[in-house]
A and B are shown apart, each in its own frame.
Chain A
Amino acid sequence: DAGVTQSPTHLIKTRGQQVTLRCSPKSGHDTVSWYQQALGQGPQFIFQYYEEEERQRGNFPDRFSGHQFPNYSSELNVNALLLGDSALYLCASSGRTGGYGYTFGSGTRLTVV
């Protein structure tokens, strides 16, 4: 049973650049949530996608955008990268309600220099 897969695992970008992170949800899951985890902090909710639409969003600027495809996979895009965007980006998938817990991918470590 394939779990949540994320790519790439590591990424180094320069300030001002744009980045795209990818996620395939666990089989049977149709909802994808993205989180940012800075060092020493808990994961912070960025946004959630369901039925190819952004269903809800956390306190992140519009530089953070996303997309969900018909096969439920998802992308996270970050424009105009800042040094403060350096973090572990986690993708989590769940069933529609999400109340039974999220399954996380292994994450993408983004470093902005």
Chain B
Amino acid sequence: QKEVEQNSGPLSVPEGAIASLNCTYSDRGSQSFFWYRQYSGKSPELIMSIYSNGDKEDGRFTAQLNKASQYVSLLIRDSQPSDSATYLCAVWGPNRGGSNYKLTFGKGTLLTVNP
């Protein structure tokens, strides 16, 4: 089982629609959860972080965390063509042996917002 899994996509939505991105993780010891946006040929940019169960909203973005189900999601409301990018789910959790923590990424989901 992969440590962080994302629906591989690609995901295509019309402009103005809601885009929903999902992620599951395997280690129950994971403590912090992030969504990064990566434009083609660029480096990842942190857009959302969430640390406790529930929803966290920031502008058009809402992150949701359910630790019991080991599930993280990102909703993008009123999607814009400029949101077209790869979205990476990242989980901060214990490395093998549990003494140190590291950030582990999923494969990413390519989102295309069509005008």
Contact = CB atoms under 8 A, between A and B. Distances in A.
B107 interface: yes
Contacts of A105: 43
Interface of B: 4, 31-32, 34, 36, 42-46, 49, 51, 88, 92, 95, 100-108
Contact of B101 (A40, A88, A98, A103): A98
A12 to B, nearest CB: 16
A55 B105 CA distance: 19
Given A45-B103, A97-B101, A98-B103, 11 more contacts: A42-B4, A43-B105, A44-B105, A98-B92, A98-B102, A99-B101, A100-B49, A101-B49, A101-B103, A102-B103, A106-B42
Given A42-B108, A90-B44, A101 B100 contact: no
> For the complex, would chain B's binding face be called helix, strand, loop or mixed by DSSP majority?
strand
Q: Which 6 A-B pairs have the closest CB atoms?
A: A42-B105, A56-B100, A104-B43, A99-B32, A42-B107, A107-B43
A4 B111 CA distance: 26
A101 B48 CA distance: 9
Interface residues of A, number: 26
A103 B90 CA distance: 13
Interface string A71-109: 000000000000000001010100001111111111100
A103 B46 contact: yes
